[in-house]
Structure 1
């Protein structure tokens, strides 16, 4: 079996990075963003394209990454004869841009305005129906050509989104270790590489070193070196590390918790953070390593107990349903280096809750 590492063609990050977007694109481009994001970025993007004497076409993304919306955007970009697709904003906008680029066989630039997950770097689009319900995944042949992160814009986003990104990134190191130890496939159909392992380890080290400091900056909406490092960890180190290293129990446990309405208010990374703690108990990590992760979560505001997840009264039958959903066929929890049962997951969740509640 081959080892495979996959990543974006170019990753650009810095204060004011969006002011050079025209130079990085270099061709007539189709820019899509929702109304709010368009309002805060259009002027800078327009100016940048004028500076390099290239045309730019703007289109408002209507909010749902559905096949109908992607088809509408595709037709608009085709009519304007654009040579690159640029998505600016959050998850669904960026997924739509990836899909439009794929169907038109055009290069794609992704410009996130938040750092709440590692999805911008991935070769994946999630389609929803027009009513917002899940449709299907579109697995892309390669990652976006360019990722552009403007640290100043991201610093001004709600700090909770940055923390959620840290929760998502927190799982990367531990899930990649599981895949390596079990010889499981990564998200691009190959075995993990040493490069993927190294990025996952660096992601964790960066979170431990700079996570708290980055939150302090984000709360004041200012960009510091620590915030810059965490944006890279949340987006690139976690994204490429996870895609090329693989996923494990933490994301499956996250998926299990999505069946509980009490957890619907949580962001993806907030559930993943608790899933990471549960994974560490499932795999019987040393106590000092569990404590390091748990105390980090407490300091930045990630949940470490079921109560902090929104579950005020514990119904063991519901938690067992979460555990069963976590172990569904095809879930990445089966990349754990030993056979995992719902009973094992239930025990890990309850133990993680007991520990987290004592902090």
Structure 2
């Protein structure tokens, strides 16, 4: 089997980059559909107006309805067609970016991802995660190519709510462990190939960056400072994790996240927050050495990621409810089966219960 590495055509990260957007997009087209939330528009409108000032690029604004669903993708695709846009620019969180990528695919136009927070590894990937209109996981939409441009502006990303970058750390935390599992099982990556040494190295660098710079980045952001640690974590959350997971693969951690979406009490939690608990669950499935488990739990507790079911909003453990989540995690089409051993709803349920207990133990130990 071939080894395949996917990446965006351009990855741009720096201060004031959004005000220079047209410098990077001019070769793709002149009419942009800008997909953004109502509140997000207020944060970026001035910068985008600066970017198009003095150029012949035209902006068409579209407000995101809140869910990356098939209906929302089709609604925006129709607008693209009616307005004759040749670029779709998604500005916001993971669901907006995934929607923009899906729209670009169906409309056969260029895709630009502009995260307003380093909260997921979605921007760089050739993947859109589709949900139902009420927020439950629906399916993965694998795309034929990565975005044309991924652009992060420190003026926006570093001033986003700190919880968002912490959630991004939770999502990125899974990259190394899931890529390692896929390499051990010889699973097929998200790109349709086997795990390359490059993907494994990027995934490991992602993990090392989180461990060394994650807690410092959190403290820096709490003081209102954009330090080298913050810049490193932004790169880890977005690029290293994005390329690592896609060229490496995903396994039980993200499958557990998908399962947890069926529990209403978790709906207020961000993607990466649920993935972080999925990482601990995967480590319990693998029965990793105690020092590795302790390093992960120490990191999660220090930066404020969930390590227990209670942290996810589940105040009372309901085994039947958790079994339903475990069954969803083990769906035939999901990625728990990329683990290097058989995974069943019963083993996932037991791993979630054990992860919860271990999380409580270490929270008390590190208190």
The two structures have a TM-score, normalised by structure 1, of 0.92
| Structure 2 residue aligned with 1:29 | 31
Aligned length: 358
| Structure 2 residue aligned with 1:58 | 60
1:217 to 216, 220, 225: 220
1:357 to 345, 356, 360: 360
| Structure 1 residue aligned with 2:309 | 306
Separation in 1, partners of 2:10, 2:135: 31
SS in structure 2 of the partner of residue 206 of structure 1 = helix
- Are 2:294 and 1:268 aligned? no
1:139 to 122, 139, 142: 142
* Residue pair 1:323, 1:342 contacting (<8 A) in 2 also: yes
Q: Deviation digits for residues 120-146 of structure 1, max 9, x if unmatched?
A: 111123455667676654332101010
* Residue pair 1:38, 1:60 contacting (<8 A) in 2 also: no
Q: Deviation digits for residues 18-60 of structure 1, max 9, x if unmatched?
A: 1211211124131332322222212211212225x23221312
Structure 1 residue 199: deviation in Å?
Answer: 0.9
- Are 2:50 and 1:84 aligned? no
| Structure 2 residue aligned with 1:159 | 162
Specify every segment of 5 or more residues in structure 2 that has no aligned partner in the other structure, as ranges. 363-367
1:189 to 176, 187, 192: 192
1:295 to 298, 308, 312: 298
Separation in 1, partners of 2:99, 2:261: 23
| Structure 2 residue aligned with 1:253 | 256
Cα 1:55–1:225 shift into 2, 3 Å: same
Separation in 2, partners of 1:137, 1:322: 18
Q: CA RMSD in A?
A: 2.2
* Residue pair 1:29, 1:86 contacting (<8 A) in 2 also: no
Q: Deviation digits for residues 268-309 of structure 1, max 9, x if unmatched?
A: 111111111121121111100100000000001111122222
Separation in 2, partners of 1:350, 1:73: 41
SS in structure 1 of the partner of residue 13 of structure 2 = strand
| Structure 2 residue aligned with 1:4 | 4
* Residue pair 1:23, 1:49 contacting (<8 A) in 2 also: no
SS in structure 2 of the partner of residue 308 of structure 1 = helix
Cα 1:56–1:183 shift into 2, 3 Å: same
- Are 2:320 and 1:317 aligned? yes
* Residue pair 1:157, 1:221 contacting (<8 A) in 2 also: no
Greater Cα shift, 271-280 or 317-326: 317-326
Cα 1:133–1:334 shift into 2, 3 Å: closer
2:183 to 156, 180, 185: 180
1:46 to 45, 49, 54: 49
Cα 1:177–1:23 shift into 2, 3 Å: same
| Structure 1 residue aligned with 2:365 | none
Cα 1:289–1:159 shift into 2, 3 Å: same
| Structure 1 residue aligned with 2:344 | 341
Separation in 2, partners of 1:171, 1:153: 25
Structure 1 residue 230: deviation in Å?
Answer: 0.8
Separation in 1, partners of 2:316, 2:145: 45
Greater Cα shift, 91-100 or 300-309: 91-100
* Residue pair 1:46, 1:56 contacting (<8 A) in 2 also: no
Separation in 2, partners of 1:129, 1:281: 30
* Residue pair 1:57, 1:80 contacting (<8 A) in 2 also: no
Specify every segment of 5 or more residues in structure 1 that has no aligned partner in the other structure, as ranges. none
The two structures have a TM-score, normalised by structure 2, of 0.90
Cα 1:67–1:345 shift into 2, 3 Å: closer
Query: Which runs of structure 2 are paired with 1:191-210 in the superposition (5 Å)?
Result: 191-210=194-213
- Are 2:18 and 1:18 aligned? yes
Separation in 1, partners of 2:195, 2:311: 34
Separation in 1, partners of 2:284, 2:310: 18
SS in structure 1 of the partner of residue 311 of structure 2 = coil
- Are 2:105 and 1:102 aligned? yes
